[in-house]
Amino acid sequence: MYRTWKRKSRAWFAMASCIVAFALQSCASVEPDRVKQEDGFLYGYGKGASPEEAELEAKRDLIANALESSMKKRSGESRRVLVTPEAARGISLEAKRVAEQKDSDSASVTLRVREDDWVKYEAAREASLRKELSPALARATDSRPYAERMADAAEALSKLELAGVDALLTVEDGGTILLSDAIVESLASQSSSMSISITPANGILAADSPITANLSDSSGSSLKGVPLAAFWSRDGKPVSDEPVIVRTDAQGTARIPAPAGEGASSASISVRVTAAFSTEAKADAGRTASRLSSIDERISAEATYVIGDSLATRFGPFVRVEAGSFAMGAAAGDKRASKREASRTVKTGAYEIAANPVTNAQYKMFLAATGYEKVPEFLDNPDYALPDQPVVGVTRADAEAFAAWLSSVMGSKVRLPTEAEWEKAAKAGRNVVFPWGDEDAVDGIRANYRGNGKFKAPSPVGAFPNGANPWGMHDMAGNVWELVAPTANEPQVAKGGSWMEGPNDLRISNKREVDPAKTYADVGFRVVMEVKK
């Protein structure tokens, strides 16, 4: 009987031991991530390749949960706090291991700490951090160079974030203003007086040539040692995923290299330069970097360039027309001609005329290089905005501004052709009705006119090769009317017909009166280049 009682006692003792162990969440059959959490405690779970690694991860999780709990109680804010391994090791709060499990290749651990113990520990830690970091607020406005003050403030913000208290630590014990907010506000306030200028400011840029950015304050004083970020883009698309980071020198300037080889196939290349205070944030301090980035964006400048190397080749070809007389006006036998188209002999000097009308891509180079503020009216309409479509929606003044700029590119004077020069080039040494001859354009293969069967908007330049004249000039009939240089005491006219006109209006001698100050969806232009004597 004694033996029976002894066996029963051992069984009850083993059962009781397991019950106690279960209550303490340390029984091997309980997985750490399934621990039942009790009120008044904070928990953390971690998994790793070894028990030590798992415990560190559990500590990081525990501290993050504790900080999140403190944040929610004080401000109502709820967000996950990143606790780095370094920060976790630096917190000496003792946590109890309440469950663990180890397999052949991994381990997992659950830790917990009394919430009251955490509150006491955190109060002491915050007091220490406040003593260490609150002077950074005063230093943010002292007499040191701004770059030093900014770097100091960025370091303090990073420490606050990595300690998990950027949304907890107030300027004063028991106060309501967060130290991190006060530092950021101080930096933002000072940044309002800063500005960046870029040299050259738009225009033509030699391939691979640097630009210069200057950072100064409202008094004109240059700011030394400040990081800047340059974001290059080509035709609206980023050239690189990462910006170019430079620092200003003693004069507040920084040389920023242009991307290598970016001009060959690009209509334009742009750069946006901003402050780069966010680069001063410590690794893993992502929230600090983001807050500093918002200040960076307030200090910025932009410029757009056309790469100058071989720029002139993008506006050819040009066709040379020799000096001499020709029969201007209606061709013999053209019964559709009006009296104002009567044939007469006209003499011109030598010139070179563009084989094609000016395209959207070419006009965009002008806009990019000069900063010309008046954008063609229809350039944002997809029906008119293809790069190789002729530009429309421009006034005569716009066309003349383009020609003046192109003169600097070509090294020779560029201008609108006179009506006589336009007709002489279109006839290509013959007395014909259309650029290709006397055959009507009704077959739809020589020009873009109303009802041509292919286009219901301006067509890409050269889309009708059968309509080219013997000198290789395209689109002198149809597609878009082309502005010509005004004649004294005569109304402004355009030549050549358009996609909105019938085939009879495409005759070389025909012309249309237009208002030079207005824009039209079917009026563009081509240019001539004067021959150097």
Please, are residues 362 and 314 in contact by the beta-carbon 8 Å criterion? yes
Task: Give the 3-state secondary structure of residue 48.
Answer: strand
Residues present in the chain in total? 533
Query: Across the chain, what does the average pLDDT equal?
Result: 89
Q: Assess whether 9 and 73 both reside in one domain.
A: no
Q: How confident is the model at residue 30 (pLDDT cuts 50, 70, 90)?
A: very low
Closest CA relative to residue 302, chosen from 242, 229, 227:
229
pLDDT at 24 over 50: no
- Least confident among 166-180, 307-321, 492-506: 307-321
pLDDT at 469 over 50: yes
Residue 268: predicted pLDDT: 73
Residue 5: predicted pLDDT: 38
Structural domain containing residue 3: 1-28
* Average pLDDT for 263-275: 76
219 domain residue, yes or no: yes
126 domain residue, yes or no: no
Looking at this protein, which amino acid is placed at residue 206? A
Q: Assess whether 406 and 506 both reside in one domain.
A: yes
Residue 308: predicted pLDDT: 72
How many angstroms separate the CA atoms of 142 and 450, rounded? 72
Q: Assess whether 363 and 475 both reside in one domain.
A: yes
Please, are residues 64 and 80 in contact by the beta-carbon 8 Å criterion? yes
Q: Assess whether 40 and 67 both reside in one domain.
A: yes
In CATH, what number is assigned to the domain containing residue 211?
2.60.40.10
* Domain stop point among 118, 146, 176: 118
Q: Assess whether 274 and 381 both reside in one domain.
A: no
Q: Assess whether 380 and 525 both reside in one domain.
A: yes
Please, are residues 224 and 252 in contact by the beta-carbon 8 Å criterion? yes
pLDDT at 300 over 90: yes
pLDDT higher for 381 or 3? 381
| DSSP category for residue 441 | S
Q: Please classify residue 449 by burial: count the beta carbons closer than 10 Å to its beta carbon, then call 0-12 exposed, 13-18 middle and 19+ buried.
A: buried
Q: Assess whether 168 and 84 both reside in one domain.
A: no
Residue 21: predicted pLDDT: 37
Residue 267: predicted pLDDT: 61
160 domain residue, yes or no: yes
* Domain stop point among 245, 280, 307: 307
478 domain residue, yes or no: yes
Q: Assess whether 365 and 349 both reside in one domain.
A: yes
Q: Please classify residue 69 by burial: count the beta carbons closer than 10 Å to its beta carbon, then call 0-12 exposed, 13-18 middle and 19+ buried.
A: middle
In CATH, what number is assigned to the domain containing residue 66?
3.10.28.20
H helices present in 371-513, as ranges? 396-410, 419-427
Pairing of strands 318-321, 211-217: unpaired
pLDDT digit string, tens, across residues 187-242: 999 999 999 999 988 777 877 789 999 999 999 899 999 999 999 998 778 988 99
123 domain residue, yes or no: no
* Average pLDDT for 381-391: 95
pLDDT digit string, tens, across residues 10-20: 444 343 333 33
Q: Provide the token pair at 498.
A: 């358009």
Q: Assess whether 302 and 172 both reside in one domain.
A: yes
Residue 478: predicted pLDDT: 97
124 domain residue, yes or no: no
Paired residues of 198 in beta bridges: 213
In CATH, what number is assigned to the domain containing residue 317?
3.90.1580.10
Place of tokens 């971690």: 46
Q: Assess whether 197 and 263 both reside in one domain.
A: yes
346 to 233, 392, 411, 482, 529: CA distances (angstroms): 50, 30, 28, 20, 19
Q: Assess whether 346 and 363 both reside in one domain.
A: yes
Report the number of distinct structural domains present in the chain.
4
Instruction: Read off the pTM.
Output: 0.66
Please, are residues 436 and 478 in contact by the beta-carbon 8 Å criterion? no
Residue 64: predicted pLDDT: 94
pLDDT digit string, tens, across residues 393-437: 999 999 999 999 999 888 899 999 999 999 999 999 999 999 999
298 domain residue, yes or no: yes
